[in-house]
């Protein structure tokens, strides 16, 4: 198992051998596989698999293991993206906005982006009526929001959590 780190001031990343890459791919596809199953797929001993995983966890490469749930079964069938422009961009406003938006459970993702708008939000709710509620009572009740522009998801073509290394 050969690792080395490349450090360039602000960030550092690992270099992975072929086995680690395959292991990460397998775990990102299904983390409930036993080390025995993984050892078969990787042609390794159970212990070797175990140690590689522990190392990847310790290095912070694997940050967490989670259950993914089907949004249709959770009555969250409505997905929208909201562009947001702030009125002003003082430190205060920005920090306050970011904190409040991050606390909204309907907001799955929030990014500060380049371009015409300041932020892009991914919002998940049950239906259009719930989205209207969210906009009126939660999002636009945050102060300092200048304008918003919403796009509704008609169809989810692809959605993965797996990063290919």
- Which residues lie near DNA (CB under 7 A)? 1-2, 19, 34-36, 44-48, 50-52, 54
88 touches a second copy (CB under 8 A)? no
Residue of the chain from 18, 43, 91, 102 that contacts a second copy (CB under 8 A): 102
Is 147:88 a contact under the CB 8 Å cutoff?
no
**C-alpha angle with apex 81: 90 to 91, nearest 5 degrees?**
10
- Per CB under 8 A, 58 contacts a second copy: no
Q: How far is the CB of 40 from a second copy (least distance, A)?
A: 18
State the burial class of residue 60 (Cβ atoms within 10 Å of its Cβ: 0-12, 13-18, 19+).
Answer: exposed
Q: What torsion, rounded to 10 degrees, do the Cα atoms 57, 101, 121, 111 define?
A: -50
Beta bridge partners of 35: none
Nearer to DNA, 2 or 88 (CB): 2
Smallest distance from DNA to CB 148, Å: 43
Q: Residue 130 is inside which H or E element, if any?
A: helix 128-133
Q: Are 52 and 145 in contact (CB under 8 A)?
A: no
Looking at 34-42, 85-93, 96-104, 134-142, which segment touches a second copy (CB under 8 A)? 96-104
Q: Are 122 and 79 in contact (CB under 8 A)?
A: yes
Q: Compute the least distance from the CB of residue 119 to DNA, in Å.
A: 39
Closer residue to DNA, CB minimum distance, 68 or 157: 68
Q: Which does 93 bind (CB under 5 to 8 A by kind): DNA, a second copy, none?
A: none
Q: Which is nearer to a second copy, 39 or 77 (CB)?
A: 77
| Cα 92 to Cα 123: distance, rounded to the nearest angstrom | 24
- Which residues make up the interface to a second copy (CB under 8 A)? 11-14, 24, 27-32, 59-77, 79, 81, 98, 101-102, 105, 107-115, 119-120, 124, 151-165
């Amino acid at each position: 198992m050969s690792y080395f780190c490349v450090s360039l001031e602000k960030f550092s990343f690992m270099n992975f051998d072929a086995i680690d890459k395959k292991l990460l791919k397998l775990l990102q596809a299904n983390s409930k596989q036993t080390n025995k199953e993984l050892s078969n797929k990787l042609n390794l001993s159970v212990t070797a698999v175990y140690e590689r995983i522990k190392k990847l966890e310790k290095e912070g490469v694997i940050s967490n293991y989670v259950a993914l749930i089907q949004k249709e079964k959770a009555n969250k069938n409505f997905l929208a993206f909201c562009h947001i422009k702030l009125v002003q961009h003082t430190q205060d406003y920005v920090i306050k906005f970011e904190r409040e938006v991050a606390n909204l459970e309907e907001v799955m993702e929030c990014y500060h982006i380049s371009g015409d708008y300041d932020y892009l939000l991914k919002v998940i709710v049950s239906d259009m009526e719930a989205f209207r509620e969210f906009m009126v009572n939660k999002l636009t009740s945050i102060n300092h929001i200048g304008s918003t522009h919403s796009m509704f998801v008609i169809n989810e073509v692809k959605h993965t959590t797996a990063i290919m290394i």
